[in-house]
Chain A
Amino acid sequence: MKEAFIKFENVNLTYDLYLDKTNNLKEYVINKLTNRRPVSKVMEKVAALKNINIEFRHGDRIGIIGRNGAGKSTMLKVISGIYKPSSGKLTVSGNIQPLIEIGAGFDPEFTGRENIYLNGYMLGFTKEQIRLKENEIIEFTELGEFIDVPVKYYSSGMAVRLAFTIATSIEPEILAFDEMLAAGDIEFIQKAKLRMDSLITKAKMLIIVSHDLGMIKSLCTKVLVFHQGQICFIGTPDEAIEFYVNRGYDK
C-alpha cells in the first residue's frame, strides 16, 4: 500500500495582484503607439506563503488555523495543484481529492443529478462508480425532487448539502477540506459530522482548514497556526488553540 506523504521545501507562493483595470487591447495599443506608460502601478505582489518547510506523513490529522488572509486556503490550493509554487519544491504522493472547497466543481446550469456526474468525473470517478453511489448521494442530501432542478435555483444550504455529499462520497487517500459546512442547517451538520468521521477514519491523511476551533479540536491530532504566510506554531490542538487565542504570534 502506498504511503500518503506531503513535503514542502522552501515553498513560496506569490500572487500577482493586478491593480490596473485597463486590461484591454485598445488601451494597450494606444499606450504602445503614444509610448506612454500606464500611470498607476500595474501590479503588486502578495506573498501568501513564505518559505514553508513542513512534512505531513501517513496517519497525520492536520488542522490549519489562523486569521483571515493568513494563507490557509492558499496552502491547500498549492497541495491540490490548483496553484503551482512560485519557488521551492513540493512533493505529494497519494491520491488527493482535488476539490477542497465546497461546490467548487459545480456548474450552476446543470441539474443536481448532472452535477453529481460532472463532479464525480472531476474527482476521477468512472460512470459506473458514480452510478453505484448516485442513489446513496441523493438520499443523503434529502433533496428529493430538487435533484433534477438546475443548481442555480438551490438555496445555498441545499447546494452545500449536495456538494458536501459528493465530496465525501469518494474515499481519497489524502483528504483536504477548506471551511466545510458553513451553510448547512443544524440537522445536516450533525449528519455530516458523522459522515465525516467515517470518512476520516478511512483516509490516510486529513488536512482541514477551519475557523471552527471545536471541530479542529475534535478531528485533528496536530495543528498549525498560520500568520502572514508563515507557520508560526505547530503543536497539539490544545497548545495551538491556546497560542492562537492568546495571539501568540504577536509576541
Chain B
Amino acid sequence: MQIVDGIITEFKDAWRFRYVINSFVSTKLKQRYRRSFLGYFWTILAPFSHYAIIGFVMSNISRSSMPNYFVYMFSGSVFFSVIAGVINGAPMYLIANEHFIKKIYLPKIIFVLNTVALEFVNFSLTAISLVLLGMITKLIHFSIAFLYLPIPILFGMLLLIGLGCVISIASVYFRDLIHILPAVMQAAFFLTPILYSIDMIPTKYHKFILMNPIYYLIECFRIPIVQGDFPPLPFTLALIGMSLFIFLFGMILLKKYDNKIAFRL
C-alpha cells in the first residue's frame, strides 16, 4: 500500500508540473514542423522509413501471399517504430537532463513523460495520416473496430512509461546501454511478427512469441486496421496485464532510486 501511495504522490506531483510537459511537447513539435517546409511529412516518414524499407524489400523477396500484406506490414512497422523510438531514446531521459535534475526540483517522472508524450503525439499524427491515406487508396476500409485503437495506444503508453523508467534509471548506472539497446531492438524487430505472421513460423517457437509484450501491443493495434475486427479477448487481457505489470515495476524502481539518481548522474 505504501508503494501505491508513493506512485499516487508521484503522479500528483507530476500533475502539478503538467504544464512543463505541455510546453516541452508543444515546443519540440513546433521545432520539428516549423523548421522546414517538408517538416510535417518528414516527421511522418522518418521514424518508420527504416522499417518500411526493410518490409518493402522483404515483401518482394518472399512474395508474401498474405492478403493486404502492405497494410499489415505498415501498421506493424509504424507501431514498432514508436516503441523502438522510446526504448532507444530512454537511456538519455535522465542523463540528458542532468542540468535540470541537479539544479531544480522536478519530479523525475516528468522526464519520462515528456518524451513518451512527444513520441505518442507524433505517432498519432503519423497513424491518422496513414489510415486516411489507406482509406483514400482503398487499402483500408473503415470499421467500427477502429474504436478499439485507443486501447493499444493507451496501454502502449503505460508500458513504455514503465520501460522508460527502467531503462533510464539503469542507464545512469550502465552508460553503455545506449549502445546496446539499438541492437536489441533491431533483433526484436525480426523476432516479433511484423513482416511475417505468427502462423508462418513453426508452432514450437510460438511460445517465445507469446512471451513478448510487444507482440500483443502490435497485434491489438493491427487487427482492427487490417482485418476490421476486434482482437480476441485473451490478447486484450494479455496486453493489459503485461502493460500494467511493467508500468508498476517501472514506478516502483523509480521510487526506489529517486533520491540516488541525482548523486550518480
Q: Which residues of A contact B (CB under 8 A)?
A: 15-16, 18, 23-26, 28, 77, 80-84, 98-101, 104-105, 107, 109-110, 114, 117-118, 121-122, 124-127
Contacts and interface: CB of A to CB of B under 8 A. Distances in A.
Nearest to A123: B104
B23 A18 contact: no
Contact of A121 (B20, B175, B263): B20
Interface string B22-52: 1110010001000000000000000000000
A32 B171 CA distance: 18
A221 to B, nearest CB: 27
Given A25-B177, A109-B31, A118 B20 contact: yes
B175 A23 contact: yes
B138 interface: no
B105 A23 contact: no
- Most chain A Cβ neighbours within 10 Å, of B19, B31, B103, B262: B103
B100 A105 contact: yes
Nearest to B177: A25
B19 A127 contact: yes
B12 interface: no
B264 A18 contact: yes
A121 B17 contact: yes
B32 to A, nearest CB: 12
B98 to A, nearest CB: 12
Interface of B: 16-17, 19-20, 22-24, 27, 31, 99-106, 173-177, 180, 259-260, 262-264
Nearest to A104: B103
Nearest to A105: B104
A25 to B, nearest CB: 4
B176 A25 contact: yes
A98 B17 CA distance: 12
B6 to A, nearest CB: 13
A207 B38 CA distance: 50
A214 B176 CA distance: 48
A151 to B, nearest CB: 12
Nearest to A106: B99
B22 A121 contact: yes
A122 B31 contact: no
A105 B19 CA distance: 14
Given A28-B174, A82-B262, A121 B19 contact: yes
B82 to A, nearest CB: 22
Contacts of B102: 77, 82
Contacts of A98: 104-106
Contacts of A122: 17, 20, 104, 106
A99 B173 contact: no
A66 to B, nearest CB: 20
Contacts of B27: 110, 114, 118
Given A110-B27, A121-B22, A24 B103 contact: no
A94 to B, nearest CB: 15
B100 A104 contact: yes
Contacts of A81: 105
A101 to B, nearest CB: 5
A107 B27 CA distance: 11
B20 A82 contact: no
- Pick the 6 closest A-B CB pairs, nearest first: A104-B103, A24-B176, A121-B19, A25-B174, A98-B105, A81-B105
A169 B27 CA distance: 22
Contacts of A121: 17, 19-20, 22-23
Contacts of A25: 174, 176-177, 180
Contacts of A118: 20, 23-24, 27
A24 B178 CA distance: 10
Contacts of A23: 173-175
A84 B23 contact: no
A161 B260 CA distance: 33
Contacts of B106: 98, 122
A110 B26 CA distance: 11
Nearest to A21: B175
Contacts of B105: 80-82, 98
18 contacts: A16-B260, A23-B174, A24-B176, A80-B105, A82-B103, A82-B105, A82-B262, A83-B263, A84-B259, A99-B104, A104-B103, A121-B20, A121-B22, A122-B104, A122-B106, A124-B17, A125-B19, A126-B19
